[in-house]
Amino acid sequence: MNVLNTDVLVIGSGPSGLAAALEAHRNGANTVIVDSFARAGGQYWMQSKYGLERNDRQMQAGANFITNSENLGIKTITDAEVWGILPKYRVFIQQGSRDSIEITARALVICTGAHDFVMPFTGWTLPGVMTAGAGQRYVKMYGKPPGDKIVLAGSGVFLWAVAATIVKAGGKLEAMVESSSNQFRLFSLIGRHPSRWTETRRLLSPVLRSGVQRLNGYRIDYAQGEDRIEAVKLRQVSNSDRDASQELEMETDCLLVSHGFRPITEITALLRCEHQFDTKKGGWYCKTDPETGATSIDNVYAAGEVTGVTGAQSALIEGALAGLGVSEKLGFTRNGIERKRARLMKRQLRTARFADGLAELFELNTNSMPRIDDNTLVCRCEDVIWGDVLKSWDDGAQNLQAVKYWTRLGMGRCQGRICGVAVSRLLANQFDLDPRIFGFNHPRLPLRPVTVNVVHDALARKSL
């Protein structure tokens, strides 16, 4: 097992992670970055090897940050899954079939980001049904769209970003289906934030030029097909009685779905950091000091979407603040830190207002959720259906942990990352309860699947 020692270990190399690492390094702290992707940049700044967006300002901004990090000599370990953290901040990572690496750090900055939040629906496990983020990543990794007749459905401005990526790659979108009907309020919000106009034009222009059919106020009812998806049934979002006139059926070989994002909190939860709940921020998120990024655990900092889904611009600012905060805590200071912190906080207030406005417009509600019945699979890893969850509730399982014990929901490879939040929302809607009362799945070692000998070797090692 290879061993490294550093002052600051940043977990995640998206906008917040790179910003945190750069600030910590510039202040004099020895800094290492680890990331599960093959290249730095995260989902937002993913660097396409096909050059699909080589003239895109978003991708170029990411490339500049990555280049600055490399030129400064910041060590970045990619294709690396963090599977465990032991006391004294001994972090264990696995790089495919290569030897494990143990990194001992004086402080951690957790920048694990967020991933697509998808509510289950009948047919969601059919081949050809993917998250919108997975579809976008597919295009950037392989240089081609994930299907020939793509339907993009769900809610939120991320649908536009995915649509733009697909159209630029020459893909054909059959339709963009948005469950919200707040398009006028969306453009009103953008109009009040001139700094967002260029980004909006970048996202909208290629999609509008493509002439794709846009359906606002429709939700997914169910997907159908034999060996893979063949069609998706859509239903108009309404409080009125549902009748046949409100339904649409579209042929498709690829359905991309996103109902927003949820913070990836497995590492902060494993470290027992304090978490809070807010549906507008994606559900459970890690609580931090807004000026420094400090969590409730000493020498553990967090930034970006893990502290609440508020967008890439907020993540970038939070990362810089966390980099300043962690380096200052470790005794690495330089002139002008307070002035820089004040400037960043002022910018953060502006980005937060915009993020709050978006969250309000696209908050998922009962009427916009996909259709589900007792036979709908809700935990793919353990084959748990919705009827099993309801029975466990009737038997006395009154929180997510109890449902896990009753049904094995959340005991598979993903440890509840996909099903946990969705089932909490479903139960809350079913029984008209606050979803926070269900809590969240508490992660266990290993966080990612690794062989037994890897875990044995790590636990057998003494702290250096």
**pLDDT the model gives residue 242:** 46
Tell how far CA 177 is from the center of its chain: 21
pLDDT-derived band at 61 (thresholds 50, 70, 90) equals: confident
Clarify whether residues 110 and 212 are in a common domain: no
370 upstream amide cis, omega within 30 of 0: no
Domain count, the chain: 3
122-133 pLDDT, tens digit per residue, is 999 999 999 999
Q: Are residues 267 and 252 in the same domain?
A: no
Mean pLDDT of 420-441: 90
- Of 359, 383, 414, which residue is a domain's last? 359
Q: At which of 258, 275, 293 does a domain end? A: 258
Query: From CA 128, how far away is CA 414, in angstroms rounded?
Result: 20
* pLDDT: which is higher, 22 or 369: 22
Max avg pLDDT among 40-44, 136-140, 316-320: 316-320
pTM, two decimal places: 0.92
Domain that holds residue 385: 368-438
454 part of a folded domain: no
Q: What count of Cα atoms within 13 Å lies in the side-chain half-sphere of residue 312?
A: 19
Using a pLDDT cut of 90, give the percent of the chain over it.
Answer: 67
| Whether residue 463 has pLDDT greater than 60 | no
Q: Do 89 and 128 share a structural domain?
A: no
My answer on whether 266 and 249 are in the same domain is: no
* Cα–Cα nearest to 253, from 223, 218, 222, 216: 223
My answer on whether 16 and 52 are in the same domain is: yes
pLDDT higher than threshold 50 for residue 445: yes
Please write the tens of the pLDDT for every residue from 194-239: 888 888 888 899 999 999 999 999 999 999 999 999 999 999 987 5
- Residue 272: inside a domain, yes or no? yes
- What is the average pLDDT across 94-101? 82
372 and 405 co-located in one domain = yes
CATH code assigned at 389: 1.10.10.1100
Q: How far is CA 31 from CA 107, 129, 352, in A?
A: 10, 39, 28
Q: Per-residue pLDDT for 446 more than 60?
A: yes
pLDDT of residue 148: 95
Which CATH number goes with the domain that contains 94? 3.50.50.60
pLDDT at 38 over 60: yes
Shared-domain flag, residues 88 and 61: yes
Quick one: 181 and 209 in the same domain? yes
Q: Is the model's pLDDT at 442 over the cut of 80?
A: yes
Are 223 and 141 contained in the same domain? Answer: yes
Same domain, 333 and 353: yes
6 vs 44, 65, 86, 103, 303, CA distance in Å?
27, 21, 16, 7, 19
What digits encode the pLDDT tens for the residues 296-354?
A: 999 999 999 999 999 999 999 999 999 999 999 999 988 889 999 999 999 999 899 89
Q: What pLDDT does 99 receive?
A: 76
In a domain, 445, yes or no: no
Q: What is the pLDDT of residue 241?
A: 47
- Assigned domain for 244 exists: yes
The whole-number pLDDT of residue 240 equals: 53
- pLDDT for the residue numbered 244: 44
Last residue within a domain, chosen from 258, 293, 315? 258
- Residue 462 — pLDDT band, cuts 50, 70, 90? low
pLDDT of residue 392: 96
Q: Is 308 left (phi over 0), alpha (psi -120 to 50) or beta?
A: left
pLDDT score of 448 more than 90: no
450 part of a folded domain: no
Same-domain status, 143 and 243: yes
Q: Residue 335: its pLDDT value, please?
A: 86
Confidence of residue 243 (pLDDT cuts 50, 70, 90): very low
